[in-house]
Amino acid sequence: MCGIIGCVGRGDETLDTLVHGLSKLEYRGYDSAGVAMSGDRLSLCKKSGKIDDLREALSKTSLSGSVGIGHTRWSTHGPPTDANSHPHQDCKGDVAVVHNGIIENYQSLRDELVAAGHTFTSDTDTEVVPHLIEDALADGADPEAAVRRAIAQLEGSYAIAAVVAGTDAIFAARHDSPLVLGLDGGATYLASDVPAFRDFTDKVVYLSDGEFARLDASGWEVTDSDGVRVEKDVDTVEWDPEETGKSGYDHFMLKEIHEQPRALRQCLRERVDEMAGAVDLDDLGDLSPTGVQFVACGTSYHAALYGAQLFREAGIPAQAFLASEYATSVPPIGDALVVGVTQSGETADTLSALRAAQKRGARTLVVTNVVGSTAARECDHAFYIRAGPEIGVAASKTFSSQLAALNLLTLGMTNSDDAREVINGLRELPGDLQRVLDESRAEEVAEMYTDAGAYFFIGRGLQFPVALEGALKMKEITYKHAEGFAAGELKHGPLALVTSETPVFAVVIGDDEKARKTVGNVKEVEARDAPVVAITDGQTDVHRYADHVLEVPETHERAAAVLANAHLQLLSYYTAAKLGRNIDKPRNLAKSVTVE
């Protein structure tokens, strides 16, 4: 997964605009970056490493021009070297191309091009594209026709932008990988995601699969694959540019953890009628599902596990599937609603699962953060979590907002006996969460266990997905071993791992049978000398067996899951900070994974 930026019409500021855009897109991939500027000849600079390495390389060159493209890469084909960085060029250096996605037929195209005399300088799949364009130009095609001819030969997923020497235009196309235009009067931008140009404009046009865009000094045009003009809607993005800065926090992740109360208010705004004890699901209409299948990956899968429990509690059969497993063996769907949970709306595994369900005639709905994302456009229905942009690679505020949105969905689609209690819990949630964030002792606890050999997390019922999420966050940003378990499973094997070196974080909410059983599991680990940290609302006596307690206010257990998770987010954050990890950009990870 990579980030693309393009810009036309900012005169001498074009190069700075591209580099600024790349720094905003670095969350999409960060092992190398590059830019190409178009004039009579193309000039290009690319570098393995971070955007700062590219900046340094640029300071030793003199790139100029008023049309340019740039790229930040996360390797899929070939290691992160200067040669494998984008943009890629043809043999003559007249064409430069940036690409996000995977070209599945690149090997056969490359073999043909090599046999025809082309010389390749990288290991990437992308490099076939400039050589295909070069061939078409040599056959007499004009630059736009040459790019179209090259694109028509590609199989796989791509967002592509190309520039050709002597042509003051950017050509772009997409298939299964996002691209959005930004319109700013005189200037036009092109990017994988809005933050790349949000400092300059809030007017955007989302490209759809199969569309082709031309950006030049006279403006922009979108056409279909046959060259027929497509009328596009111009949308206005609703969040401010400051929302993509760090606002004084050391990391985006910490900022985003602290933004959760506001994100939750946005998610709930105008959707909850407290007087009537009802929710309004925008314009989703009456979906009344008889069954629900959730598909999702990573953190979103944990949200899906939580969502499936909510539907089951309301008497609707529901199951959560890992998206990457769903498509390989699609379960019988019947007339179930298939719900994708994906903050980005671009995760390839989740898109594949949703498409597999659609092929079998299922109705689909996506719970997502990104308006105009592929999932939002392809599904029958979209329900937005409204968390605002999330830049830190590790999901934080989007998870909380997913849980809130899934509560709204369940309330809106089912008849829950305790709708009023849930709504009360949701109404109190932003304020409760603010208190948890203000008063959390997670930093102190993190300091005590920075040297731990492994971290275990346990929870039952709705707190089980919270335990899984706590462990995922810990692994992702600290690079240390962490596992989440259903509390009752511990004694079926994992207990063998528990020692005095392995703190166990137990989420215990309420004082019902579930909570009491979890306290029993806590006693089991305490008896094996494991340090115990209880995340609890204090309704059981778990504190008697715990070395530390992280408190959450008493509230509905659904809301308590969000509160408990906030402590665990802070715990991972401060552990990673103490270990000096690259918190916003953990090694080997990307914000949205657009490959299967």
Please tell me the distance from the alpha carbon of residue 419 to that of residue 416, in angstroms, as a whole number: 5
Interface residues for ligand F6R in 546-565 (CB under 6 A)? none
- Report the residue number, 201 or 478, with the smaller CB distance to ligand F6R: 478
112 contacts 61 by C-beta, under 8 angstroms: no
Smallest separation, CB 377 to ligand F6R (Å): 15
Q: Which residue is nearest to ligand F6R (CB)?
A: 298
CB atoms within 10 A of CB 318: 24
Interface residues for ligand F6R in 323-362 (CB under 6 A)? 342-344, 347, 350
* Catalytic position from the list 2, 7, 267, 297: 2
Sorted by sequence, the CB contacts under 8 Å of residue 366 that are 6+ apart come out as 339, 340, 341, 342, 345, 354, 373, 375, 376, 379, 381, 382, 383
**Two tokens at 56?**
């340094």
- Report the residue number, 400 or 592, with the smaller CB distance to ligand F6R: 592
Peptide bond just before 87 cis, omega within 30 deg: yes
Smallest separation, CB 149 to ligand F6R (Å): 33
**Two tokens at 145?**
């026709």
Q: Count CA atoms within 13 Å of residue 278 on its CB side.
A: 6
At residue 28, φ and ψ (nearest 5 deg) are -85, -10
DSSP string, 101-132: EEETTHHHHHHHHHHTT----SS-STTHHHHH
Should residue 394 be labelled a site residue for ligand F6R when binding is judged by CB under 6 A? yes
Q: Count CA atoms within 13 Å of residue 186 on its CB side.
A: 7
DSSP string, 389-457: ---SSS--HHHHHHHHHHHHHHHHHS--TTHHHHHHHHHHHHHHHHHHHHH--HHHHHHHTTT-S-EEE
Smallest separation, CB 586 to ligand F6R (Å): 9
Please tell me the distance from the alpha carbon of residue 307 to that of residue 199, in angstroms, as a whole number: 35
Smallest separation, CB 356 to ligand F6R (Å): 16
Smallest separation, CB 350 to ligand F6R (Å): 5
Smallest separation, CB 593 to ligand F6R (Å): 5
Interface residues for ligand F6R in 201-240 (CB under 6 A)? none
Smallest separation, CB 395 to ligand F6R (Å): 4
**Two tokens at 141?**
């095609």
- Taking CB under 6 A as the binding criterion, the range among 291-299, 359-367, 443-451, 562-570 that sits at the site for ligand F6R is 291-299
- Report the residue number, 113 or 354, with the smaller CB distance to ligand F6R: 354
Should residue 594 be labelled a site residue for ligand F6R when binding is judged by CB under 6 A? no
List the one residue from 75, 300, 440, 572 that touches ligand F6R (CB under 6 A): 300
CA distances from 391 to 28, 29, 340, 575 (A): 9, 12, 21, 20
List the one residue from 65, 87, 143, 298 that touches ligand F6R (CB under 6 A): 298
Please tell me the distance from the alpha carbon of residue 510 to that of residue 14, in angstroms, as a whole number: 57
Chain centre distance of CA 142:
38
- Report the residue number, 2 or 95, with the smaller CB distance to ligand F6R: 2
Per-residue binding string, ligand F6R, 246-285, x by CB under 6 A, is ----------------------------------------
Verify whether residue 2 is a known catalytic residue: yes
Verify whether residue 359 is a known catalytic residue: no
Should residue 593 be labelled a site residue for ligand F6R when binding is judged by CB under 6 A? yes
Interface residues for ligand F6R in 475-494 (CB under 6 A)? 476
- Taking CB under 6 A as the binding criterion, the range among 17-25, 295-303, 457-465, 495-503 that sits at the site for ligand F6R is 295-303
DSSP string, 213-245: EEEETTEEEEE-TTS-B---PPEE--S-GGGGS
- Report the residue number, 32 or 342, with the smaller CB distance to ligand F6R: 342
Smallest separation, CB 476 to ligand F6R (Å): 5
Phi-psi sector, 344: left (phi>0), alpha (psi -120 to 50), beta? alpha
At residue 167, φ and ψ (nearest 5 deg) are -125, 120
# residues near ligand F6R by CB under 6 A? 15
Smallest separation, CB 48 to ligand F6R (Å): 24
- Report the residue number, 295 or 550, with the smaller CB distance to ligand F6R: 295
Q: Is 332 exposed, middle or buried (0-12, 13-18, 19+ CB in 10 A)?
A: exposed
Q: Which residues pair with 279 in a beta bridge?
A: 272
- Taking CB under 6 A as the binding criterion, the range among 155-163, 279-287, 294-302, 416-424 that sits at the site for ligand F6R is 294-302
- Report the residue number, 100 or 350, with the smaller CB distance to ligand F6R: 350
- Report the residue number, 5 or 375, with the smaller CB distance to ligand F6R: 375
- Report the residue number, 38 or 343, with the smaller CB distance to ligand F6R: 343
- Taking CB under 6 A as the binding criterion, the range among 98-106, 293-301, 418-426, 508-516 that sits at the site for ligand F6R is 293-301
* Catalytic position from the list 24, 473, 585, 591: 591
**Two tokens at 343?**
């903050």
At residue 508, φ and ψ (nearest 5 deg) are -125, 110
Please tell me the distance from the alpha carbon of residue 307 to that of residue 292, in angstroms, as a whole number: 10
- Taking CB under 6 A as the binding criterion, the range among 140-148, 297-305, 433-441, 450-458 that sits at the site for ligand F6R is 297-305
List the one residue from 32, 401, 410, 592 that touches ligand F6R (CB under 6 A): 592
- Report the residue number, 98 or 589, with the smaller CB distance to ligand F6R: 589
Should residue 374 be labelled a site residue for ligand F6R when binding is judged by CB under 6 A? no
Please tell me the distance from the alpha carbon of residue 595 to that of residue 177, in angstroms, as a whole number: 10
Should residue 395 be labelled a site residue for ligand F6R when binding is judged by CB under 6 A? yes
Should residue 575 be labelled a site residue for ligand F6R when binding is judged by CB under 6 A? no
- Report the residue number, 368 or 414, with the smaller CB distance to ligand F6R: 368
172 contacts 215 by C-beta, under 8 angstroms: yes
Per-residue binding string, ligand F6R, 439-478, x by CB under 6 A, is ---------------------------------x---x--
Smallest separation, CB 293 to ligand F6R (Å): 16
Should residue 98 be labelled a site residue for ligand F6R when binding is judged by CB under 6 A? no
Reduce the DSSP state of residue 522 to 3 states and report it: helix
Contacts with ligand F6R by CB under 6 A lie at: 297-300, 342-344, 347, 350, 394-395, 472, 476, 592-593
Known catalytic residues?
2, 591
